Amino acid sequence: MAHKNSVVLVTVSGQDGPGITAQLTGVLSQGNVTILDIGQAVIHNLLSLSILFEINGTTSSSNPGDDKAAVKDLLFKATELGLKLDFRVLNGEYNPEGHFSTKAYRYAVTLIAKPISAQALHEVTAILAKYKVNIDIIERLSEGEFSCVEMIVSSSEEPDRTALKKELLLIAKKQGVDIALQAEGLFRRAKRMVVLDLDSTLIQAEVIDELAKEKGIYKEVSNITKDAMAGKMSFDESLRLRCEKLKGLTKADIEKVYQRLELTPGAQDLVIVLKTLGYKIALISGGFSCIADRIKEKLGLHYAYSNVLEFDKEGLTTGKVLPPILNAQRKADLLDVIAQQEYIHLDQVIAIGDGANDLLMLEKAGLGIAFNAKPVVRERADLAISQKNLRSILYLLGISGRDLAEILI
């Protein structure tokens, strides 16, 4: 007598080719089975296909009364196609209610390096195992060099994310790889707005230091800048001190600075991709509008907010900034205001910056990314990236190199 409702998992592997999945599912369609799950991956033309199905009593007119007929038919077809087939009967092991449990904690772990070493991959997966986190999916996002891989992982119990993140950061530092740990869910895949700092983030310089070079006081000003970015001095105080030293600069001096500024590698690609995908992009900088507004225009950004230098009637800087000063709190407030204006949930906002003045903004956003940041910022941000190219940010959104190639033709 046939056993009813057996659950079987078959795994097929071998050389890939068109029509394989069609022929195998065609075999199942001839039997009295219900497909419960399916997954397929192809790496360098080698196929791995798994199908989970339930046998509803007698399954094949060619072999009545045999509840393994579907497996036998699949085995014959796989052999005919030159493939290897393994199977397991999961009676008593399969729990349909818990298979896609909403109680599972799911995360995306992204590794970025040039290239990712086997040791780095080993140490990350070992730490995940230590915290009883299971790897569900591994996908390579980079094209060409093995420089980015994303793992979707899950756990039936919530792991200690703070401790897990700390151990991942130790691996990152030791192995020279960026490791991002994010909650996996709708909001990770549905970001709608990006807010960027300007100095040492969107561009490869600190504008105020470059202005100081024009006046011959670079060392004095850069020392104050370093203290401010490291959180050793309030931003408001440091800005006033530095601006006082810049008194007497001409608009021609500022033009010289603008002309020699260089965008961070990948900045234009980042903006093009995000705009193509419908993101709103804002520049919120503690720098100066005479530079920030022109960067906004050059890249076609939607918003730009920054401090405004005061000029006298002769067109010289007075050494003062027009109030209100755009400091850390105002950066965070402006992010909130823009999100509200655009009807965008804060969880759908990404903030990117490098200095202590960006911390509140990074914390306000659903995802705060420290980009080549100071140690104090790396420790407190959600994610820290040490790559020198802003395109790497796109990998954190699950965008692959193939996706980028479609847009950046």
Neighbouring C-beta atoms of residue 122, cutoff 10 Å: 12
- Report whether pLDDT(290) > 60: yes
| CA nearest to 321, candidates 297, 353, 354, 287 | 287
Segments of the chain assigned to CATH 3.40.50.1000: 193-407
What is the structure's pLDDT at 296? Answer: 98
Mean pLDDT estimate for the chain: 90
| Cα 340 to Cα 346: distance, rounded to the nearest angstrom | 9
Sheet holding 134-140, edge to edge: 134-140, 148-155, 105-112, 178-183
Second CATH level (architecture) for the domain 6-97: 2-Layer Sandwich (3.30)
- Report whether pLDDT(334) > 60: yes
Residue found by looking up tokens 């530092």 in the block = 173
Are residues 272 and 265 in contact, defined by beta-carbon separation less than 8 angstroms?
no
CATH code of the domain occupying 193-407: 3.40.50.1000
Segments of the chain assigned to CATH 3.30.70.260: 6-97, 101-184
Q: Known catalytic residues?
A: 197, 199
| CA nearest to 345, candidates 216, 191, 230, 240 | 191
DSSP 56: -
DSSP secondary structure string, 132-151?
TPEEEEEEE--SSSS-EEEE
Q: Which backbone phi and psi does 118 adopt, to 5 degrees?
A: -60, -35
| Residues 6+ away with beta carbon under 8 Å from 88 | 8, 9
Single pTM value for the model: 0.83
Mean pLDDT of 288-314: 97
pLDDT in tens, 182-218: 999 888 878 999 999 999 999 999 999 999 999 999 9
Mean pLDDT of 379-389: 90
pLDDT in tens, 67-126: 578 899 999 999 999 999 999 988 766 666 555 445 579 999 999 998 999 999 999 999
- Report whether pLDDT(259) > 80: yes
Choose the CATH number for 101-184 among 3.90.1150.10, 3.30.70.260, 3.40.50.850, 1.10.110.30: 3.30.70.260
Are residues 399 and 266 in contact, defined by beta-carbon separation less than 8 angstroms?
no
Q: What percentage of the chain has pLDDT greater than the value 90?
A: 73
Mean pLDDT of 229-244: 88
pLDDT in tens, 11-62: 999 999 999 999 999 999 988 888 999 999 888 899 999 999 988 864 444 4
| Residues 6+ away with beta carbon under 8 Å from 141 | 110, 148, 149, 150, 395, 398, 399, 400, 401
Angle at the Cα of 400 from the Cα atoms of 394 and 403, rounded to 5 degrees: 100
| Residues 6+ away with beta carbon under 8 Å from 54 | 5, 6, 7, 8, 33, 34, 36
